[in-house]
Chains A and B, each alone.
Chain A
Amino acid sequence: MPEIKSKMGQLSDIKQYIKSNSFLAIGGGWSCNKPMAIVREIIRQNITGLKAMSIVGGFEMEWLLAAGCLDHLVFSFLSLESFGLPPNFRRAAEKKKIGTFWQPSAEAIIACKPDLVVTLWFEQQKAVANSLERLGYQILTLKIETIGELLTAIQEIGIFTKCQSQAVQLLNELTGELNDMQLRLGSAKKVKVLWIVQAEPLRVAGRNTFINELIELAGGENAIGDTLQQYPPIGTEEILACGAEVIIQSAMGTGNMAEQQKAAEVFWSRWENLPAVKKNRIHVVEPDTVTRLGPRLYQGVELIARCLHPDIFEQGKNAAQQTR
């Protein structure tokens, strides 16, 4: 008879099950049968960036929204019953948009009465920052194109928001996790990776990108040599010559991941002599964690490391099981 594994766990270990960016589905009725102990623990442990789905939502969603844990909510109905519309849900729904990433609106930003405006180092955002600075607003312009710049940016944001201790804590966590990953990977052989940013026309990540840093931290090396462009378009000759052992493709849009994986495998099957295709090591990965330089950097590194060195992570899992 197969051994039945217990699925019970301690609330304090909740971070093992629910990570930042996890998608939660919470059941129950309006105000009954809700897993409120878990909701309180999520808030206590400050697990943020969550996505959630609720058919009949109530206090649990209101609490998660109030604590700033939810980034995205899919729902059909939300209410506090006799207490009316959940105020934090309403606030989140009415939160103003301030334009787009490429075209922020100075008017909309002023209307939000910000204490601090954080912009990135490119023309459209710089132009808006300049006009707000002329009006006396406090501006912090950041350049985040490498992992080093990300760490500096976290420090700067900590200084400007007077949250230096939290910034230092986040930095220590990040660098600690990255160091642990290096120890775990040890002297594992570097795996040649071809990172696809666009399938048609074929465009890959070059060496002068943060994706290249990500690949190296995950125990790989970019199969593409030095190029003039950051994300060079490549032809069949380069594909065959690069000898990629693993192909990683960040998923496009919100389409079904399984379908995208299947499409990628069909697309790459025409280069059957490529080691990655021969060994069927083609991975379509969630773009959120691997294409954005942010505090979730480690999750991206771990995701890639699992694609490059599945044996190491499998061993780790087995060892953990044996210890248990």
Chain B
Amino acid sequence: MLRNRQDKSMVEMLTSGKLALRVVICLAVLAVVMCLCAVVGTQDISMKKVFAGPGEVPGENIDYEIFVGVRLPRVILAALVGAALACSGVVLQAILRNPLADPYILGISSGAGLGVITAIISGVTWGFWGGSPIAVFAFVGAMGTVWLVWFIGHFTGKSQVINLLLAGVVINAFFSAVIMFLTSIARSDKVHSTLFWLMGNITEESMSVLGISTCCILTGIFALFCISYRLNVLTFGEEEAKGLGVDTAKIKVAAFGFAAFITAIAVSLSGLVGFVGLIIPHGVRLVFGPDHRQLLPLSGIIGAAFLVAADTLARTVVAPAQLPVGVVTAIAGGPFFLFLLAKYSRKVSWLK
């Protein structure tokens, strides 16, 4: 039944008007979610006081400080990270033709993790554009690992997809072992910092970091959107895609590069937030169909809304303490995805 439905939606023509309408509706949902989540927090704030502007000295208008200085940057950051991870998941599932592919499958998580623990243990204090050294090391670690996995996959033979996956698994295992070794010899406070990062942890960032990250992630998503119709062809198989005139090698390099780039930025900002890159693409595919021209932007927007909501839960559910957002995405995302799967595969009678 699922296959029939997907086939039907593939056959159903996706017009630009229909795509625009769906994107606008999803953007409106995202805007509503972001607004709602920005007014929810551990402290009650008055929007009237927020609009009154900042006080002359710190502490004069705490409602404004909490809204503009703490919640807004955090909500924007969560949206950016959610969008990047969901889009990256869509692309990697397409080029690897593997439904279990997520943004971390090719070793990005362990590479970034190794970068982070190196930064924490070495105690470096410098960063770029107001970003912490952890973010810089995570980004470098993630990109370095992606390059290594790509190089090994490319070097070892023609069947690149399987080789890439195997190289990713091996590099992941090796780097994870190095991380465990470093964790076992690190000081307890440094181990804690690393653990929080590994569980996914969204914190308030400066506007300069947010600005640069927004530009990079939106550019990456736009670039992926530009090649999304070729990803449709790639899902038929490499030989078929070549037969239809698509330069599969170039497309794969471009898709892989951009997906890795936006994932590395997301990981450097928020640590390893799991599940978003796996369940959002599948959920959107189940509801709207598998056309990548639609799947990519809608996954990005819904991924953003999902992570904003998850982060709001993470910072309010045990307030004033906070949960790592990765815990919330896993707890909330798993059952929700199962619900979608059961509903759209029509295997459960009461959900039909």
Segment from B171-179, B189-197, B293-301 that makes contact with A: B189-197
The secondary structure that dominates the B interface is: helix
B212 to chain A, nearest CB (A): 16
Which one of A113, A124, A127, A131 lies within 8 Å of B59 (CB-CB)? A113
**Cβ-defined contact, B192 with A122, below 8 A:** yes
Report Cα–Cα, A145/B190, bound state, in Å: 12
With A107-B320, A111-B66 as contacts: A127 and B58 at CB distance below 8 Å:
no
With A105-B42, A123-B193 as contacts: A137 and B320 at CB distance below 8 Å:
no
B185 at the binding interface (Cβ < 8 Å): yes
Q: How many of B's residues come within 8 Å of A, CB to CB? A: 35
Q: How many of A's residues come within 8 Å of B, CB to CB? A: 33
- Contacts of B319 on A, CB cut-off 8 Å? 105, 108
- Contacts of A124 on B, CB cut-off 8 Å? 192-193, 196, 201
A293 to chain B, nearest CB (A): 13
A102 at the binding interface (Cβ < 8 Å): yes
B42 to chain A, nearest CB (A): 5
A128 at the binding interface (Cβ < 8 Å): yes
Report Cα–Cα, A97/B185, bound state, in Å: 33
B321 at the binding interface (Cβ < 8 Å): yes
Report Cα–Cα, A121/B132, bound state, in Å: 14
Interface residues in A95-133 (C-beta closer than 8 Å to B): 96-100, 102-103, 105-108, 110-111, 113-114, 120, 122-124, 126-128, 130-131
Interface residues in B154-210 (C-beta closer than 8 Å to A): 184-185, 187-190, 192-193, 196-197, 201, 203-204, 206
Report Cα–Cα, A106/B58, bound state, in Å: 13
Which one of A105, A114, A229 lies within 8 Å of B185 (CB-CB)? A229
**Cβ-defined contact, A231 with B57, below 8 A:** no
A136 at the binding interface (Cβ < 8 Å): yes
**Cβ-defined contact, A135 with B58, below 8 A:** yes
- Contacts of B184 on A, CB cut-off 8 Å? 229
With A111-B62, A113-B62, A128-B203 as contacts: A105 and B69 at CB distance below 8 Å:
no
**Cβ-defined contact, B321 with A130, below 8 A:** no
Contact with A along B53-83 (1 / 0, CB 8 A): 0000111001001100111010000000000
**Cβ-defined contact, A110 with B192, below 8 A:** no
B310 at the binding interface (Cβ < 8 Å): no
- Contacts of A241 on B, CB cut-off 8 Å? none
**Cβ-defined contact, B320 with A134, below 8 A:** no
**What is the chain A residue whose CB lies nearest that of B323?**
A103
**Cβ-defined contact, B193 with A108, below 8 A:** no
With A110-B65, A134-B206 as contacts: A228 and B189 at CB distance below 8 Å:
no
**Cβ-defined contact, B203 with A131, below 8 A:** yes
Report Cα–Cα, A127/B52, bound state, in Å: 27
A173 to chain B, nearest CB (A): 28
Q: Given contact pairs A105-B319, A127-B132, enumerate 18 new A-B contacts (beta carbons under 8 Å).
A: A99-B321, A99-B322, A102-B192, A103-B196, A106-B204, A107-B70, A107-B71, A110-B65, A110-B69, A113-B59, A123-B134, A123-B197, A124-B193, A127-B204, A128-B203, A130-B204, A134-B69, A134-B206
8 A-B pairs with least C-beta separation: A123-B193, A131-B204, A136-B58, A108-B320, A113-B59, A105-B320, A135-B69, A122-B189
Interface residues, chain B, with chain A CB atoms under 8 Å away: 41-43, 57-59, 62, 65-66, 69-71, 73, 120, 132, 134, 184-185, 187-190, 192-193, 196-197, 201, 203-204, 206, 315, 319-322
Q: 28 interchain pairs (CB within 8 A)? A: A99-B320, A100-B321, A102-B196, A105-B42, A105-B315, A105-B320, A105-B321, A106-B69, A106-B70, A107-B42, A108-B319, A108-B320, A110-B66, A110-B69, A110-B70, A111-B42, A122-B192, A122-B193, A123-B120, A123-B132, A124-B196, A128-B204, A130-B204, A135-B58, A136-B58, A137-B58, A230-B187, A231-B188
